[in-house]
Amino acid sequence: MTFEDVEAAARRIAGAARVTPVLTSRTLDDRLRARVFLKCESFQRAGAFKFRGAYNAITRLSEADRRRGILAYSSGNHAQAVALASRLLGAAATVVMPVDAPAAKRKATEGYGARVVAYDPAHEDREEVARRLQAEGDPVLIPPFDHPDVVAGQGTSALELFGETGALDLLLVPCGGGGLLSGSALAAKRLSPGCRVIGVEPETADDATRSFRTGTLQTVRNPRTIADGARTASLGRITFPLVRALVDDMVTVSDDDILRAMRFLWERMKLVVEPTGALGLAAAWRGALDVAGRRVGVIVSGGNVDLGTAADLLRGLPPED
Amino acid sequence: MTFEDVEAAARRIAGAARVTPVLTSRTLDDRLRARVFLKCESFQRAGAFKFRGAYNAITRLSEADRRRGILAYSSGNHAQAVALASRLLGAAATVVMPVDAPAAKRKATEGYGARVVAYDPAHEDREEVARRLQAEGDPVLIPPFDHPDVVAGQGTSALELFGETGALDLLLVPCGGGGLLSGSALAAKRLSPGCRVIGVEPETADDATRSFRTGTLQTVRNPRTIADGARTASLGRITFPLVRALVDDMVTVSDDDILRAMRFLWERMKLVVEPTGALGLAAAWRGALDVAGRRVGVIVSGGNVDLGTAADLLRGLPPED
């Protein structure tokens, strides 16, 4: 994959995806002694960057393939993204979710017109569900990260960011399956060759960090972290080599680090951001990374979070010292 | 006062105040069958439009007057605005707050470098406090709304909005003391003469609506509403005639209307908005105003709200039907 794939994706999603705002804060800059640019994918359609990749992938299908319908497995932001992108492109979408997925996420996905198929991971396996759905009309699977068109689409956020800020010293990117991170690195290495691209993971879900360091694909299993978008088991067949080749470093942060960054984003910057979306800022916030004197881009990846849950989490956090 | 006062204010605050983003949402437009432009003063410095007026007023003081120091009475957004504007302009600020003001607001005001003087409204009156402070160095009082420089500064938000959107059919503006509403109307009447300017109040704090209708200044006393920025007792000597002359209509909304609009802004648009900031959208949201087919500007006036309190309020609201 190359930068040209990201550029082509940007042309395809133009007009459908939102060019999200880049926000800055003098308070934040003073606190980090840096110049920080927050690329706010929380304002992307369906509330997260995922729409970019889903839309790019579905536009590339042939008319005949689109008529087969679209299939996704997700209880998270990919579900809503595929549902909305499918509707906009006139394809029927089916989203497979575990039965215990939050009702709000199921409702939002259905709100975008998708059929939600619930399955019980304790009694059924996904392959069985897939076979059943395949028999119904052989829909086209859109994976959440490990697909070239998805990676290229996710890279358009960083492409927009560099277009607005020019060269940066650092780019901090949340990492789950590595789609956003790979795409961002493809954009950064062309548009700002001196920029160090850093992936950020929760410390309990540090599979990509270990994979990056060892050169061998590592996994995690149901890690406990509030950053639900980064609980992914491992990098993928496509994203692992891209991360190895293009990413400069990986860092991990604790759930408390995430919450402190999230509190700043909500209270001071007035942004509703989900825990996964605060990963990048968290790496700079608590000193996991030295950003002093640098121009720092941060991808704020999404804002889909239950408000009550988020408020409860923030209430449990001691006041800033 | 004229449009030229607002233009002059815009030149004075340029570089100090933020040009706040105008956000749109296809979901919102579909729901209201209108084209809606949200002017997000929640992203203004110190979290609300108030910074515009405070900064404009303080820049206009002579060097000698600035040396006397700045005085404000406020437990709300005006306090933080005066504190920050004073610091930026090198003046010492004193803010008088009731002893029971929320600790977070006091801390934020002190965080911007102001001295906070607490007084007990049950045992002292404000005049007494004022006399004591006057004796200390005769500081210059910056009132929260009833001052030409404050009104002109508040009008710069609508000025920016029209600069971005061009002509609008309707402009919805929260109304407390009428500073934002008067300033917005001054901008609208010049930049989009056919635009109907509508002030929005909580139904329990409908003094300005009654003043507008009767032509005689009406008051309220400690009204119960979640929109704390609109609890002001009445319009002022300067704002009342401006509202009468330039505003096309006033509407009122219930606290539930405000909360429903606020829930949409938080959940779907990922914006942390305070209840007063949701007044404008609330008027369109629940049909208090027919907006179908129109181009509608909405001033989202601020985002300073305790997250836990807001989440509790939203939790108490029945799900959207």
The answer to whether position B289 is within a domain reads yes
A308 close contact with B: CB closer than 8 A? yes
Query: Across the interface, which of A21, A42, A312 has its CB nearest the CB of B21?
Result: A21
| Sheet of B93-98, strands arranged across | B115-119, B93-98, B70-73, B140-141
User: Best interface-test mutation with B: which of A28, A51, A270, A305 has the largest number of B CBs within 10 A?
Assistant: A270
A281-310 b/e (C-beta count within 10 Å ≥ 16 → b): bbbbbeebbebeebbbbbbbbbbbbbbeeb
The answer to whether position A321 is within a domain reads no
Report chain B residues whose CB lies below 8 A from the CB of A273: 270
Report chain A residues whose CB lies below 8 A from the CB of B311: 307-308, 310-312
Q: Are residues B261 and B293 in the same domain?
A: yes
Output the pLDDT for position A210.
Answer: 97
Q: Are residues A189 and A224 in the same domain?
A: yes
Question: Would you say residue B321 has pLDDT above 70?
Answer: no
Structure tokens at B219: 């008051």
Query: How confident is residue B286, by pLDDT bands cut at 50, 70 and 90?
Result: confident
Name the DSSP class of A317: S
Q: Which residues pair with A299 in a beta bridge?
A: A39
Residue B26, C-beta contacts closer than 8 angstroms, at least 6 positions apart: A45
Q: Which residues pair with A172 in a beta bridge?
A: A198, A298
The answer to whether position B187 is within a domain reads yes
| Share above pLDDT 90 across residues of chain B, in percent, rounded to a whole number | 83
Taking Cα atoms as reference points, which of A10, A15, A7, A21 lies closest to residue A303? A21
pLDDT in tens, B179-224: 999 999 999 999 999 999 999 999 999 999 999 999 999 999 989 9
Q: Are residues A58 and A38 in the same domain?
A: no
Residues A84 and A96 sit within 8 Å (Cβ to Cβ): no
Q: Could you write out the three-class secondary structure of A54-102?
A: HHHHHHCCCHHHHHHCEEEECCCHHHHHHHHHHHHCCCCEEEEEECCCC
A311 close contact with B: CB closer than 8 A? yes
Query: How confident is residue B230, by pLDDT bands cut at 50, 70 and 90?
Result: very high
Q: Is B73 helix (H, G, I), strand (E, B) or coil?
A: strand
Q: Is B27 helix (H, G, I), strand (E, B) or coil?
A: helix
Output the pLDDT for position A125.
Answer: 80
| Share above pLDDT 90 across residues of chain A, in percent, rounded to a whole number | 83
The answer to whether position B36 is within a domain reads yes
**Phi and psi at residue A90, to the nearest 5°:** 70, 25
Domain boundary among B81, B113, B141: B141
Q: Are residues A258 and A159 in the same domain?
A: yes
Structure tokens at A107: 């409702």
Output the pLDDT for position A319.
Answer: 79
Number of residues written out for chain B: 321
Q: Are residues A180 and A259 in the same domain?
A: yes
Residues A183 and A154 sit within 8 Å (Cβ to Cβ): yes
pLDDT in tens, A5-58: 999 999 999 999 999 999 999 999 999 999 999 999 999 999 999 999 999 999
Residue B43, C-beta contacts closer than 8 angstroms, at least 6 positions apart: A23, A269, A270, B18, B20, B21, B303
Nearest CA in chain A to B42: A270
Q: Report how far residue B97's alpha carbon sits from residue B218's, in angstroms, rounded to the nearest whole number.
A: 25
Domain count along chain A = 2
Strand segments, DSSP code E, in A133-228 are 140-141, 170-174, 196-202
Q: Are residues A225 and A82 in the same domain?
A: no
pLDDT in tens, B6-16: 999 999 999 99
Interface pTM (ipTM) of the complex? 0.93
pLDDT in tens, A250-269: 999 999 999 999 999 999 99
Q: Are residues A301 and A172 in the same domain?
A: yes
Whether A270 sits among the annotated catalytic residues: the reply is no
- The distance of A311 to chain B (nearest Cα, Å) reads 5
Query: How confident is residue A173, by pLDDT bands cut at 50, 70 and 90?
Result: very high
Question: Would you say residue A100 has pLDDT above 90?
Answer: no
Burial class (CB in 10 A: 0-12, 13-18, 19+), A280: buried
Task: Identify the residue with better confidence: B123 or B146.
Answer: B146
Q: Report how far residue B247's alpha carbon sits from residue B243's, in angstroms, rounded to the nearest whole number.
A: 5
The answer to whether position A55 is within a domain reads yes
Indicate the range of A140-149, B53-62, B284-293 predicted with least confidence.
Answer: B284-293
Q: Report how far residue A313's alpha carbon sits from residue A227's, in angstroms, rounded to the nearest whole number.
A: 12
Q: Are residues A25 and A56 in the same domain?
A: no
Residues A145 and A184 sit within 8 Å (Cβ to Cβ): no
Helices B307-315 and A307-315 cross at an angle (nearest 10°) of 140
Q: Is A300 helix (H, G, I), strand (E, B) or coil?
A: strand
Please tell me the pTM assigned to this model: 0.94
Q: Report how far residue B321's alpha carbon sits from residue B318's, in angstroms, rounded to the nearest whole number.
A: 8
Q: Is B172 helix (H, G, I), strand (E, B) or coil?
A: strand
B315 close contact with A: CB closer than 8 A? yes
Output the pLDDT for position B13.
Answer: 98
Query: How confident is residue A92, by pLDDT bands cut at 50, 70 and 90?
Result: very high
Domain boundary among A126, A141, A156: A141
Residue span of the structural domain in which B250 resides: 3-48+148-315
**A-B Cβ pairs (cutoff 8 Å, strict):** 55
Q: Are residues B258 and B240 in the same domain?
A: yes
Query: How confident is residue A188, by pLDDT bands cut at 50, 70 and 90?
Result: very high
Look up the CATH number of the domain holding residue A160: 3.40.50.1100
Q: Are residues A168 and A244 in the same domain?
A: yes
Q: Are residues B206 and B254 in the same domain?
A: yes
Question: Would you say residue A127 has pLDDT above 80?
Answer: no
pLDDT in tens, B73-115: 988 899 999 999 999 999 999 999 988 887 878 888 999 999 9
Q: Are residues A41 and A60 in the same domain?
A: no
Domain boundary among B108, B141, B174: B141
Is there a contact between A23 and B43 if contact means CB atoms under 8 Å apart? yes
The answer to whether position B320 is within a domain reads no
The answer to whether position B9 is within a domain reads yes
A317 close contact with B: CB closer than 8 A? no
pLDDT in tens, A245-255: 999 999 999 99
The answer to whether position B130 is within a domain reads yes
